[in-house]
Structure 1
């Protein structure tokens, strides 16, 4: 995406349809490489709607390239939620810019530690951001990796 500017802003209700479609595509095209079809089939029934419906209740961000919504990420309390990038824009810095916005929002709210329930697919990305594995959880066949990262110094 050389020359393509990534813009990040707070998500708006008008972004819901595009965010829904991005989550759906990412699940079906990207996460499907790491999870059985039964897990993907279950997630596509609820997750795209849940993420789209939460844009105004979570501290949500959307990423744009050429005026098109290409990604989303949110902060809910101390938890990073729903970092998804359209498959055509993955590995081009979109998720990095979204995570920078989420982390900045957390610091602004004096959140000392960020937690995330990572997919197998996203674990290397979060590790690059300094998150470490706390534990693994299983929801049937779905393996989720709970990770954490301190972002503010511990009080003395």
Structure 2
């Protein structure tokens, strides 16, 4: 499979700076960079929706996922800004398994571009409907992108801690 690469430009507050953001397929040696983005996003962005124990359980879950081989079987994209990985998204079958943005780069359209890359890939694979288990923090993002609520669910940690999530779906490929 060929590597996908999409380039975007966005304006910074300082009009003299127009950094180039690229969204491309992740390389195997970028796993630790992706994990760092996920951990920072969880610890900073999720504090309004989850307890510290729940956040640390999610961090441990992501670290465990990486220690078992990372995103093997998934197609993962990274958003790179001036040679720094600032976000990542992943697709596994018909499920979005991740969209994370480093907190310093949140709310700049990077998440939308990473989600677009996953949706585009799904369409190229003739996947009609995408599903995602959204955190309470990410729920408004997915809702704004046209994802519909299917159900409420909970991730349950090995210690029995329950973490509330929202199951969502979106038809990305119309039937003709």
* C-alpha distance in structure 1 between counterparts of 2:150 and 2:168, whole Å: 5
Shift of 1:96: 0.7
* Residue 49 (structure 2) aligned to one of 8, 14, 34: 34
- Contact in 2 for aligned 1:107/1:151 (Cα 8 Å): yes
TM-score, length-scaled by structure 1: 0.93
RMSD value, Cα: 1.6
- Aligned partner of 1:89 in structure 2 is 105
1:151 and 2:151 equivalent?
Answer: no
TM-score, with structure 2 as normaliser: 0.83
1:58 aligns with 2:46: no
Deviations, residues 27-56 of structure 1 (Å, cap 9, x unaligned): 111112210112112111121452584334
> 1:154 Cα deviation (Å)?
2.9
2:128 to 112, 134, 139: 112
Alignment gaps of 5+ in structure 1: none
Query: Which among 77, 80, 89 is matched to residue 73 of structure 1?
Result: 89
The structure in which a higher percent of residues are helix is 1
- Between the two structures, name the one with larger relative contact order (CA 8 Å, sep ≥ 6): 1
